């Protein structure tokens, strides 16, 4: 039987591809290339096969070879551009699609994909132009009209978005994506019932559509239907196991859960969420710890240690050790500080027992022991060794230091890391093949601090730090950079540019006054360790961020984290806000959260920032509330009376002083904050060198003095603004600071996380 010729192989491969059998098509294309290595069509379609089956880099290489052999052909350029888009190489995708359009200007699909590329790049106006060009060539194409509608929504044109999305649905009623996008547009326009109905339509049409389930959950949560929101989030993570925003939202819901009995399924949920690399585990810690102690085996061991049982025995008893090396405990203490006094006592006893067991020569080196020691070391590193330490414990630690310096086991290194920052010990060798938990601990506690030390000399300086208070604040944060963070929560799908965020926050403000450039110039004034900078830069990829702070230690931490996250649109510099007046730049958006109230003259610093804000620009400011901070003030006064020095010993003593206060005392309110449970946080909370607090009346006076327009407050959860609208129906936009003052008097903890508000500079 004669062998098939090349053309028949190409035809058979094409049929296999059209039938969805990429593997069979790949074999046939490779047969062609075995006979003719430069066969352009086989190279091209083999490349597409490889891209479709997840081998993008190999497939793109074949596509690039084929393009060189097919000059002047628009379709191959188009295919190559689409493959580059799918692989995430947006710049190259744009280049190829533009070439395809040059070769074939009337190809609607190339214009459509060009719009998709530019939308992902954050160039929304250019994306809309490309979509409209596609519609000129293919009027009412439902996919293009849907994408144009969503693009207009991202630009802040809610009415235009709704019109185009309804047009898309009219052409293709079963398009779940269009229903989902219409739900987002209706939500942005304040139509909660319509949004929920659209999201429900989307999941009815596509039951595995994780994004639509997630959007439905958010819409239900905003209306107070928390049970419905929780169920929708479960569906979102079930159908989208890699969909990080849904996991973060589920974590936020579980953070409020209460349990009266052990629930293994909930424990699995907690463990999975705590291990998720894109979830901020901190809000989940208290609820996870409360559930964990309800486990019968773990709870018994927990209560034994808290009540003063012999902790050393745990480390030589395999059964007790197995009960304590609980998967939920390991996940919890490795990545989240547990804000609970009793749990802290338990962990302190666990560490004390390990030291006693090591001294007695009975500390095990088994995998459960090493895993538990590594997790305990991670907890101590996260809280910055804030637990008190007895003289006996300190003496054992010194002997352990000598042992580790001479070479030690993984268990010994992990035990030392639970007592001291091991990056300070030069020449320490990493034990060979100590396991994944040890590798994670070594990375966080040795390699990351080393990288930050390497980055410090790279940080440029803007102006001099001359103000005495600024220098004192700088010294504090050089010693105690704040806050330490390890994960960036994914709370939005893709980009969430400023214009869209402002429209969502302040729907009652004239949209014309909330227009900001698609590529905004952003200043983060007092960026600290960079958490908010990373959030802002990731949501505004087309913007350029200048992040400044007094502390080089904080800046090095921020630089490392932003580089790890691939945020190339941020530059850092050391600077005092008071020295920024000479900066020859103007910004469309300035963020200054939790900074001004630590200056000697906050209004003077704020005035400097106003000179840097472009006309029509917006500024987000966060300041302490006098009313909400009463308990913290009581704790600060209690600590001040003792005359404690703000070094580690003094911070430890301050915490123990507050913990010793009777239940119900105002100072114990400090325990309700996340800051109390770490060394840098506790110092920032009750031992800061400078602190100012304000009322809403004082906010109004300062805003008027600076000639700014108050846009409104921003809240992390909807309960407070919802309650405000119930109590003040005459001010649905929440723009009356006088009304907010009356509201805060009735609800003293409404601004426990500071006044977080937005202002605008007039055009």
Dihedral over alpha carbons 81, 87, 90, 95 (to 10 degrees): -20
| C-alpha–C-alpha distance, residues 58 and 621, integer Å | 48
Q: Where are the beta strands (DSSP E) in 50-106?
A: none
Angstrom CA distances, 545 to 493, 579, 620, stand at 21, 18, 14
In terms of Cα–Cα distance, which of 593, 594, 596, 620 is closest to 606?
596
Is a pLDDT exceeding 50 seen at residue 2?
no
333-351 in b/e form (b: 16+ CB < 10 A) is bbbbbbbbeebbbbbbbbb
Both tokens of 288, joined, read 């996870």
With cut-offs at 50, 70 and 90, classify the pLDDT of residue 14.
confident
549 SS3 class:
strand
At 4 the pLDDT is: 63
Helix intervals (H) in 406-550: 410-417, 436-442, 448-455, 468-479, 498-505, 531-539
Mean of all residue pLDDT scores within the chain: 93
Burial of residue 484 (CB within 10 Å: 0-12, 13-18, 19+) is buried
Mean pLDDT along residues 575-604? 96
Burial of residue 644 (CB within 10 Å: 0-12, 13-18, 19+) is middle
User: By the 8 A CB rule, do 631 and 676 touch?
Assistant: no
Residue corresponding to tokens 């009623």: 173
Both tokens of 728, joined, read 């003040």
- pLDDT tens digits for range 55-90: 888 889 989 999 889 888 999 999 999 999 988 888
- Name beta bridge partners: 275: none
Mean pLDDT along residues 3-28? 83
With cut-offs at 50, 70 and 90, classify the pLDDT of residue 564.
very high
Q: What one-character-per-residue DSSP string does 581-636 give?
A: GG----EEEEEEES-GGGSSSHHHHHHHHHHHEEEEEEEEEEE-BTTTTHHHHHHH
Is a pLDDT exceeding 60 seen at residue 449?
yes
Is a pLDDT exceeding 60 seen at residue 389?
yes
| C-alpha–C-alpha distance, residues 681 and 674, integer Å | 8
Model confidence, pTM = 0.85
In the chain the domains, ranked by start, together with CATH numbers, are 6-188 (1.25.40.10), 262-448 (no CATH), 468-627+693-760 (3.40.50.150), 630-686 (no CATH)
Residue corresponding to tokens 């944060």: 477
Mean pLDDT along residues 637-666? 97
Angle at 534 between CA 694 and CA 524, to 5 degrees: 45
Mean pLDDT along residues 462-471? 96
Residue corresponding to tokens 């000598």: 402
User: By the 8 A CB rule, do 388 and 349 touch?
Assistant: no
Mean pLDDT along residues 296-318? 89
At 109 the pLDDT is: 96
Mean pLDDT along residues 621-632? 97
| C-alpha–C-alpha distance, residues 567 and 561, integer Å | 9
Is a pLDDT exceeding 70 seen at residue 3?
no
Q: To the nearest 5 percent, what fractions of the chain are helix, strand and coil?
A: 65, 5, 30
- pLDDT tens digits for range 120-160: 887 888 999 999 999 999 998 999 999 999 999 888 788 99
Both tokens of 671, joined, read 């325990």
Mean pLDDT along residues 550-564? 97
Mean pLDDT along residues 332-352? 96
Is a pLDDT exceeding 70 seen at residue 648?
yes
Question: For residue 574, what is the enclosing H or E element?
Answer: strand 570-575
Is a pLDDT exceeding 70 seen at residue 1?
no
Angle at 286 between CA 693 and CA 218, to 5 degrees: 80
- Name beta bridge partners: 549: 574
At 536 the pLDDT is: 95
In terms of Cα–Cα distance, which of 675, 659, 669, 665 is closest to 629?
669
Mean pLDDT along residues 248-262? 91
Angle at 368 between CA 367 and CA 369, to 5 degrees: 90
Is a pLDDT exceeding 80 seen at residue 669?
yes
With cut-offs at 50, 70 and 90, classify the pLDDT of residue 26.
confident
With cut-offs at 50, 70 and 90, classify the pLDDT of residue 314.
confident
In terms of Cα–Cα distance, which of 40, 31, 41 is closest to 4?
31
Do strands 544-549 and 570-575 pair parallel, antiparallel, or not at all (unpaired)?
parallel
Mean pLDDT along residues 572-588? 95
| CA torsion through residues 76, 78, 83, 88, sign | positive
- pLDDT tens digits for range 85-126: 988 888 899 999 999 999 999 999 999 999 999 988 878 889
């Amino acid at each position: 039987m004669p062998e098939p010729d090349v053309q028949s192989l190409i035809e058979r491969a094409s049929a296999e591809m059209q039938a969805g059998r990429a593997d069979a098509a790949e074999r046939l294309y490779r047969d062609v290339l075995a006979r003719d290595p430069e066969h352009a069509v086989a190279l091209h379609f083999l490349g597409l096969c490889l891209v479709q089956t997840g081998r993008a880099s190999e497939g793109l290489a074949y596509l690039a070879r084929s393009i060189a052999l097919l000059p002047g052909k628009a379709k191959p350029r188009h295919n190559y551009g689409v493959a580059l888009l799918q692989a995430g190489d947006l710049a190259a995708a744009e280049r190829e699609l533009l070439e395809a359009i040059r070769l074939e200007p009337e190809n609607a699909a190339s214009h459509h994909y060009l719009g998709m590329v530019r939308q992902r790049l954050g160039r929304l106006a250019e994306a809309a132009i490309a979509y409209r060009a596609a519609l000129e060539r293919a009027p009412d194409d439902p996919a293009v009209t849907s994408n144009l509608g969503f693009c207009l929504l991202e630009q802040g044109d809610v009415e235009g978005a709704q019109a185009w999305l309804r047009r898309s649905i009219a052409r293709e009623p079963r398009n779940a994506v269009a229903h989902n996008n219409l739900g987002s547009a209706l939500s942005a326009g304040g139509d909660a019932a319509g949004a929920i109905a659209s999201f429900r339509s989307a999941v009815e049409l596509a039951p595995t559509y994780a994004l639509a389930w997630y959007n439905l959950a958010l819409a239900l949560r905003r209306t107070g239907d928390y049970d419905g929101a929780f169920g929708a989030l479960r569906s979102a993570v079930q159908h989208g196991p890699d969909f990080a925003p849904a996991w973060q939202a589920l974590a936020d819901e579980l953070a409020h859960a209460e349990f009266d009995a052990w629930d293994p399924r909930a424990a699995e949920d907690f463990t999975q969420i705590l291990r998720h690399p894109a979830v901020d585990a901190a809000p989940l810690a208290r609820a996870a710890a409360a559930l964990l102690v309800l486990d019968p085996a773990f709870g018994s061991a927990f209560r034994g240690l808290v009540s003063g049982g012999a902790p050393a025995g745990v480390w030589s008893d395999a059964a007790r050790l197995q009960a304590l090396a609980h998967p939920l405990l390991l996940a919890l203490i490795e990545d989240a500080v547990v804000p609970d006094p009793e749990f802290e006592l338990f962990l302190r006893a666990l560490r004390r027992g390990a030291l006693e067991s090591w001294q007695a020569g009975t500390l095990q080196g088994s995998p459960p022991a090493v895993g538990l020691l590594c997790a305990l070391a991670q907890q101590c590193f996260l809280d910055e060794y804030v637990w008190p330490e007895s003289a006996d414990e300190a003496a054992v630690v010194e002997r352990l230091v000598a042992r580790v310096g001479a070479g030690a086991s993984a268990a010994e290194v992990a035990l030392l890391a639970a007592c001291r920052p091991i990056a300070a010990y030069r020449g320490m060798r990493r034990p060979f093949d100590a396991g994944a938990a040890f590798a994670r601990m070594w990375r966080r506690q040795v390699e990351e601090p080393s990288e930050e030390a390497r980055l410090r000399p790279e940080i440029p300086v803007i102006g001099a730090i001359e103000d005495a208070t600024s220098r004192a604040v700088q010294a504090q944060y050089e010693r105690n950079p704040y806050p330490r963070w390890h994960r960036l929560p994914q709370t939005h799908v893709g980009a969430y540019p400023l214009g869209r965020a402002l429209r969502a926050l302040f729907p009652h403000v004239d949209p014309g006054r909330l227009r900001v450039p698609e590529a905004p110039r952003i200043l983060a004034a007092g960026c600290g360790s960079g958490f908010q900078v990373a959030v802002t830069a990731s949501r505004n990829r087309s913007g350029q961020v200048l992040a400044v702070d007094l502390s080089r230690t904080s800046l090095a931490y921020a630089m490392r984290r932003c580089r790890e996250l691939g945020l190339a649109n941020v530059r850092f510099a050391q600077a005092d806000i008071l020295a920024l007046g000479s900066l020859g730049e103007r910004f469309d958006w300035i963020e200054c959260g939790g900074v001004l109230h630590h200056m000697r003259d906050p209004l003077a610093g704020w005035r400097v920032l106003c000179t840097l804000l472009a006309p029509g620009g917006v500024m987000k400011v966060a300041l302490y509330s006098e009313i909400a901070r009463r308990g913290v003030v009581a704790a600060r006064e209690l600590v001040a009376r003792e005359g404690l020095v703000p070094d580690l010993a003094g911070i430890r003593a301050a915490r123990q002083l507050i913990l010793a206060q009777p239940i119900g005392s105002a100072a114990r309110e400090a325990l309700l904050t996340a800051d109390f449970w770490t060394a840098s946080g506790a110092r920032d909370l009750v031992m800061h060198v400078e602190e100012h607090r304000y009322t809403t009346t004082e906010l109004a006076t300062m805003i008027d003095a600076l000639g700014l327009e108050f846009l409104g407050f921003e809240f992390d959860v909807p309960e407070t603004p919802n309650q405000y609208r119930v109590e003040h129906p005459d001010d649905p936009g929440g723009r009356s600071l006088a009304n907010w003052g009356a509201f805060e008097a009735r609800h003293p903890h409404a601004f426990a996380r500071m006044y977080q508000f937005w202002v605008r500079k007039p055009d």
